[in-house]
Amino acid sequence: MLDVAATAEAALFQPFVLGDLTLRNCIVMAPLTRNRAIGGGEAPNELMAEYYRQRAGAGLIVSEASQISQQGQGYVFTPGIFTDEQVRGWRLVTDAVHQAGGTIFIQLWHVGRVSHVSLQPGGGAPVAPSAIRANTKTFIETGFVDVSEPRALELSEIPGIVADYAKAAANALAAGFDGVEIHAANGYLLDQFQKDGANHRTDAYGGSIENRCRLTLEVVDAITKILPPGRVGIRLSPVSPANDALDSHPQPLFDHLVRELSRRKLLYIHVIEGATGGARDVAPFDFAALRKSFSGAYMANNGYDREMAISVVASGAADLVAFGRPFIANPDLVERLRLDAPLNELDRATLYGGGAEGYTDYPALEPCES
Instruction: Identify the sign of the CA torsion 240, 241, 244, 245.
Output: positive
| CB-based contact 74:118 (threshold 8 Å) | no
| CB-based contact 327:319 (threshold 8 Å) | no
Catalytic residue flag (residue 359): no
Provide the 10 A C-beta neighbour count for residue 209: 17
CA distance 103 to 122: 37
What is the greatest pairwise CA distance in the chain?
Answer: 69
Sequence-distant (≥ 6) Cβ neighbours of residue 44 within 8 angstroms? 37, 38, 79, 86, 89, 90, 92, 93
Provide the 10 A C-beta neighbour count for residue 157: 11
CA distance 70 to 241: 25
CA atoms within 13 A on the CB side of 278: 12
CA 205 to chain centre: 23
Q: Which residues pair with 271 in a beta bridge?
A: 236, 300
Identify the active-site residue in 51, 165, 188, 352: 188
Secondary structure (DSSP) of 269-311: EEEE-SSTTS-TTSS---HHHHHHH-SSEEEEESS--HHHHHH
Which residues are part of the catalytic machinery? Answer: 188
